[in-house]
């Protein structure tokens, strides 16, 4: 009886204990339900390495400018200094082939002339002598021709010997030769046969503009005068001269396109073509002279202007060219920032090719179509370093 009572009381104790444990578990579950839930979040992309995050309302965003990256032709070397001059093939330095005195007003500077336009007129003893020689030779031919005809008639009547006939024929041949010589001289002087006033008209051998005049009315001129009387050139086409160091001459090719700028029109680019590369190196400067044809259809470019010439890559050889304001350097490595979206900017190392005064050629690290931070890169770098320091324990 005692044993039965013991087991009965023990069973009741275990049941009570189980009920207590169940109640405690329920209470704990209820407390957990009331407590705030803790959820494990993924890594914040804004906190990824080399990425700077700026909130939408950050005032720093006003100092950031971006631009899309594009492939384009790139400069092969530093811009070269050059000078514009007349095109040699379209320029003529004109001198007089005879001596004489200017008797009219020479054509004015800046006048547009055609081939054959008279530039000035001379009263020339040389021309007078040439005209007299022609008139004398013409008269001698007429006399010799009559003498030969008469000798032929006499020889037919057996009144003269064959030797006398041959002599008359020889005299006629000599007279004709002399006439031809004097006629050729007049032709070379551009004087009409039969003219006898001793005047010489100096004419332009090319079309173009009178860009230089060194003669006035009454001037005595000679064929051996120092310097030309006129310089005429077609200013619709100019030549750009530049000197290239021998270490860079392999980058210059015939018919290669070049870009030209001048101080007079700083915001405009003119395009020329390499047409001559000297085969001689200047031993003093170690440079090679290069000439470029430069069209000048509106005449705004002038001989004597200084120019800056850029040698560019071939049309099918392209790279990304960015402004230097986008680049900063740390530990001998160049970096830029790329805009990932409106709020995130990623720092990225790049490999530079040619570094110019205000831009640089990028050979590695960037892709066309990406958004480059062109201004504000240093500010983003400071912000990145500030955030990094704040995360340190």
Rounded to 10°, the helix 125-156/162-188 angle is: 160
Residues 256 and 214: their CA atoms lie apart, in Å, by 38
Please identify which residue in the block is written with the tokens 């057996």. Answer: 158
pLDDT of 316 reads 86
pLDDT of 69 reads 95
Choose the weakest-confidence range: 38-52, 115-129, 192-206, 209-223.
Answer: 38-52
Instruction: Give the residue-averaged pLDDT of 144-170.
Output: 89
pLDDT of 71 reads 93
| Residue 19 burial by Cβ neighbours in a 10 Å radius (0-12, 13-18, 19+) | exposed
Residues 288 and 277: their CA atoms lie apart, in Å, by 7
Under the banding of pLDDT at 50, 70 and 90, the label for residue 390 is low
Q: Answer with the residue of higher pLDDT: 390 or 56.
A: 56
**Chosen CATH of 80-89+234-311 out of 3.40.50.2000, 3.20.20.70, 1.10.510.10, 2.40.30.170:** 2.40.30.170
For residue 370, how many C-alpha atoms fall within 13 Å in the half-sphere facing its CB?
19
* In the predicted structure, residue 38 carries a pLDDT above the cut 70: no
* In the predicted structure, residue 159 carries a pLDDT above the cut 90: no
Residues 113 and 90: their CA atoms lie apart, in Å, by 13
Under the banding of pLDDT at 50, 70 and 90, the label for residue 393 is low
* In the predicted structure, residue 146 carries a pLDDT above the cut 80: yes
Q: Convert 180-190 to b/e letters by CB count within 10 Å (16 or more is b).
A: eebbebbeebe
pLDDT of 12 reads 47
CA distances from 285 to 27, 84, 257, 277 (A): 96, 20, 25, 16
DSSP code, position 392:
-
Residues 292 and 336: beta-carbon distance below 8 Å: no
| Residue 243 burial by Cβ neighbours in a 10 Å radius (0-12, 13-18, 19+) | middle
Percent of the chain clearing pLDDT 70 (strictly above):
86
* In the predicted structure, residue 137 carries a pLDDT above the cut 80: yes
Residues 119 and 116: their CA atoms lie apart, in Å, by 9
Instruction: Give the residue-averaged pLDDT of 131-152.
Output: 91
pLDDT of 391 reads 64
Q: Name the helix (H) or strand (E) containing 33.
A: helix 2-34
Instruction: Give the residue-averaged pLDDT of 348-357.
Output: 90
pLDDT of 321 reads 94
* In the predicted structure, residue 286 carries a pLDDT above the cut 50: yes
Q: Tell me which long-range contacts 220-224 makes (C-beta under 8 A, separation of at least 24).
A: 220/99, 220/100, 220/101, 220/102, 221/96, 221/99, 221/100, 221/101, 221/102, 221/122, 222/96, 222/99, 223/95, 223/96, 223/97, 223/98, 223/99
Class of the CATH domain delimited by 92-231: mainly beta
Under the banding of pLDDT at 50, 70 and 90, the label for residue 389 is low
pLDDT of 10 reads 43
Q: Answer with the residue of higher pLDDT: 43 or 94.
A: 94
Choose the weakest-confidence range: 3-7, 114-118, 291-295, 299-303.
Answer: 3-7
CA distances from 301 to 210, 266, 283, 368 (A): 16, 12, 32, 36
Under the banding of pLDDT at 50, 70 and 90, the label for residue 34 is very low
pLDDT of 224 reads 87
CA distances from 338 to 192, 319, 322, 355 (A): 79, 17, 12, 20
pLDDT digits (tens, 9 = 90+) for 56-88: 888 998 899 999 999 998 889 999 999 999 999
Residues 302 and 84: beta-carbon distance below 8 Å: yes
pLDDT of 228 reads 94
Instruction: Phi first, then psi: give them for residue 140, nearest 5 degrees.
Output: -65, -35
* In the predicted structure, residue 100 carries a pLDDT above the cut 60: yes
Instruction: Phi first, then psi: give them for residue 251, nearest 5 degrees.
Output: -90, -5
Tokens in use for 130? 């040439």
pLDDT digits (tens, 9 = 90+) for 8-26: 444 444 445 444 444 454 4
Average pLDDT, the chain: 85
Residues 350 and 327: beta-carbon distance below 8 Å: yes
CA distances from 314 to 74, 164, 169, 328 (A): 9, 80, 72, 29
Under the banding of pLDDT at 50, 70 and 90, the label for residue 392 is low
Whole-angstrom Cα Rg for the chain: 48
Instruction: Give the bridge partners for 91, in sequence order.
Output: 233
Tokens in use for 131? 């005209």
* In the predicted structure, residue 242 carries a pLDDT above the cut 50: yes
* In the predicted structure, residue 99 carries a pLDDT above the cut 60: yes
Of 362, 360, 359, give the one whose Cα is nearest residue 351.
Answer: 362
Choose the weakest-confidence range: 33-47, 138-152, 299-313.
Answer: 33-47
CATH number 3.40.50.920 is the correct assignment for the domain at 51-72+318-391? no
Under the banding of pLDDT at 50, 70 and 90, the label for residue 49 is low
pLDDT of 387 reads 72
pLDDT of 18 reads 44
* In the predicted structure, residue 262 carries a pLDDT above the cut 80: yes
pLDDT digits (tens, 9 = 90+) for 182-228: 989 888 888 887 777 888 999 999 999 999 999 999 999 999 888 89
Residues 328 and 74: their CA atoms lie apart, in Å, by 21
Domain segments of the chain: what residues?
51-72+318-391, 80-89+234-311, 92-231
DSSP code, position 16:
H
Instruction: Give the bridge partners for 102, in sequence order.
Output: 122
């Amino acid at each position: 009886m005692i044993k039965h009572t013991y087991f009965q009381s023990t069973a009741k104790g275990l049941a009570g204990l189980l009920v207590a444990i169940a109640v405690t578990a329920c209470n704990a579950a209820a407390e957990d339900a009331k407590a705030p839930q803790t959820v494990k979040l993924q890594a914040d992309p804004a906190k990824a390495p080399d990425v700077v995050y700026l909130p939408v309302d950050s005032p720093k965003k006003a100092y950031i400018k971006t631009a899309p990256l594009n492939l384009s032709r790139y400069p092969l070397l530093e811009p070269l200094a050059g000078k514009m001059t007349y095109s040699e093939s379209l320029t003529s330095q004109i001198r007089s082939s005879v001596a004489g005195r200017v008797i009219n007003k020479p054509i004015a500077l800046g006048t547009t002339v055609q081939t054959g336009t008279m530039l000035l007129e001379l009263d020339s003893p040389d021309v007078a002598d040439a005209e007299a020689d022609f008139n004398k030779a013409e008269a001698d031919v007429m006399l010799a021709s009559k003498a030969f005809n008469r000798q032929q008639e006499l020889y037919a009547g057996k009144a003269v010997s064959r030797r006398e006939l041959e002599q008359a024929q020889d005299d006629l041949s000599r007279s004709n030769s002399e006439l031809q010589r004097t006629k050729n001289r007049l032709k070379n002087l551009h004087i009409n046969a039969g003219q006898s006033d001793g005047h010489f008209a100096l004419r332009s051998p090319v079309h173009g503009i009178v860009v230089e005049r060194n003669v006035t009315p009454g001037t005595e001129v000679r064929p051996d005068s120092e310097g030309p009387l006129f310089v005429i050139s077609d200013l619709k086409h100019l030549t750009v001269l530049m000197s290239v160091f021998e270490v860079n001459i392999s980058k210059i090719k015939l018919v290669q396109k070049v870009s030209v700028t001048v101080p007079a029109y700083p915001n405009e680019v003119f395009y020329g073509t390499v047409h001559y590369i000297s085969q001689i190196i200047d031993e003093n400067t170690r440079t090679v002279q290069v000439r470029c044809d430069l069209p000048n259809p509106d005449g705004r470019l002038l001989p004597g202007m200084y120019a800056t010439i850029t040698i560019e890559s071939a049309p099918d050889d392209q790279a990304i060219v960015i402004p230097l304001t986008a680049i900063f350097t740390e530990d001998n490595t160049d970096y830029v920032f790329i805009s990932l979206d409106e709020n995130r900017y990623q720092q990225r190392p790049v490999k530079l090719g040619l570094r110019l005064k205000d831009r640089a050629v990028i050979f590695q690290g960037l892709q066309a179509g990406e958004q480059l931070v062109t201004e504000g890169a240093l500010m983003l770098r400071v912000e990145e370093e500030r955030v990094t320091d704040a995360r340190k324990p």
